[in-house]
Amino acid sequence: MLQNLKLDTTAEKNVKTWLKGKYDEETKTAIQKLIADNNATQLTDSFYKNLEFGTGGMRGEIGVGSNRMNKYTVGAATQGLANYLNKAFPGQEIKVAIAHDSRNFSPEFARVAADILSANGITVYLYKELRPTPQLSFTVRQLGCQSGIVITASHNPREYNGYKVYWVDGSQVVAPHDKNIVAEVNAITNVKDIKFKGVKKRIKMIGEVLDKAYLKAVKSISVNPRMIKRQSDLNIVFSSIHGTGITMVPKALAQLGFTNVNIVEEQATPDGNFPTVVYPNPEEQEAMSLALKKAQATNADLVIATDPDADRVGMAVKDPKGEWQLLNGNQAASLIIYYLLKAWKKAKKLTGKEFVAKTIVTTDLIDEMAAKAGVNCYNTLTGFKYIAQVIRELERQQTFIGGGEESYGYLIGDKVRDKDAIASCAMIAELTAFAKDQGISLFDFLAEMYQKNGFYYEGLISLTKKGKTGAEEIQQMMVDFRAKPPKSLAGSKVIRMDDYKALTTTDLKTGQTTDIPSGKMGIESSNVLQFFTADGTKFTCRPSGTEPKIKFYVGVRAKLKKKDEFDATLASLKEKVKTIQTELNLV
């Protein structure tokens, strides 16, 4: 029957291996059913390759097969990690912390990983129940672990799950360990090489003690507890969108002193099927609709929501017309930094040895505000592991205030080394209370930030190019931009090009080229191009590392003289982004 399906060679070979190999009967029965149903499409997609374990881990649809998330692909990843840990830390007691989110099979995959690590002589600290990703990062540091694992697929659709690996400082793995782990995982070519039988005494269940320690760390980031006391009844609507945020966000807000937190009950129960949303992503209006409805009904001051593993947070503010508006990641990151810089200055905590960090595709408004405050701002490649790298390299030299990236991930303080939606929710609530304490709305606070520093707007153009021809087209676009940089963007002359692949900066007026320092501070060779114009526009080209897409980030700015010119200024900036898109034919 298998021959009749006409699978490609690799898929057919993998199907036969799984049917003959040391796989459980439930798995083999599921494969046989696909064959009996003549489901060639699903069989091909499930077996035509091995699920790729990349430099940060892996992510894929749940199901049987070499290209799916299941106990065997999780097993191979974990065995490879165990092999590398035993090589990297010879003669030491190796400790690994494991957490998981609310997705289907997340608890089971976490247990599989714990069993395999324990079978390889490694001590495992396994959370009894679901916990946020940032708490795992904190736990790695708190318990002195060499590594950590989170079973999560972030805000992907319900069909997905994933596996993220962390290193000794609580950040996602970076070079050289990332590539070394990948090599060890790829070396697992036979299911017999995976030690599935766990050693109970090496698996230690954790929970309440670490919860308290993490919540204490979150509380420590607060800059203005007295002000919170005055505004303790701030009306906050919170949704965990069926994820892990429900375990920590309400506790963190209560601990800071907020007494009026209204939870979106329809989304409060952790559920990997995410029954109330299409995508469990707080960036999406649809995923936020129930929270916005509750905010309207309760006349809330703030709406916040976390994604399933609670490393990203979305927020909404009420505009002068009484309508709720979602803020994008650049706006939220800017507001957090604006408040922190203001609060640190008032508390006389700025000594000249503080810094903030962000990615190169995140708004330059943060650079502007940091410079005015006399605070260093470091720009890294896309990915929070690079921000964590900067924090690590500046430890005991400079103090990290906070930072973030445009994709809705922020971090305050250095006790966690990854995006932290729990701490971010706490800080967003605090800055909203601060605005209210000043007698203004959160929207007014946003407008004040733009009036003082310039109105920055960032547009994202994402083009999908599937298949082999799509990949070739994306590469050709990057070649063309390098060979023929645009001469102007929306009427302003392009004066500089930064090439992160060549690690060079070129002054397009003089042709002079200088090197971009690499190997530290979150910078290494990467296929990214940036162009800067005389009027301050920034245009970035970046192929996605995980999807068949090329992304263009367009940053524009203007002056905001008066708050009531907000809408008109925003409209003109959006129009400028559209003009650039048309000029460059990005369709």
Catalytic residues: 154
Q: What are phi and psi of 306, to 5 degrees?
A: -115, 155
Distance CA 527, CA 435 (A): 41
Q: What residues contact residue 563 under an 8 Å CB cut-off, 6+ apart?
A: 444, 447, 448, 451
- Alpha carbon dihedral 215, 217, 220, 221, in 10-degree steps, equals -100
Interior/surface letters 87-100, b for 16+ CB within 10 angstroms, e for the rest:
ebeeeeebbbbbbb
Q: Report residue 563 as tokens.
A: 């708050």
Distance CA 399, CA 413 (A): 8
10's enclosing H/E stretch is: helix 9-20
| Phi/psi-derived region of residue 218, left when phi > 0, alpha when psi is between -120 and 50, beta in every other case | alpha
Q: What are phi and psi of 505, to 5 degrees?
A: -115, 130
Task: Look at residues 425, 453, 219 and name the one whose alpha carbon lies nearest to residue 338.
Answer: 453
Interior/surface letters 154-184, b for 16+ CB within 10 angstroms, e for the rest:
bbbebbbbbbbbbbbbbbbbbeebbeebbeb
Q: Using the Cα atoms of residue 134, residue 340, residue 361 and residue 521 in order, give the sign of their dihedral.
A: negative
Q: What are phi and psi of 492, to 5 degrees?
A: -110, 135
For the chain, the first-to-last Cα distance in angstroms comes to 45
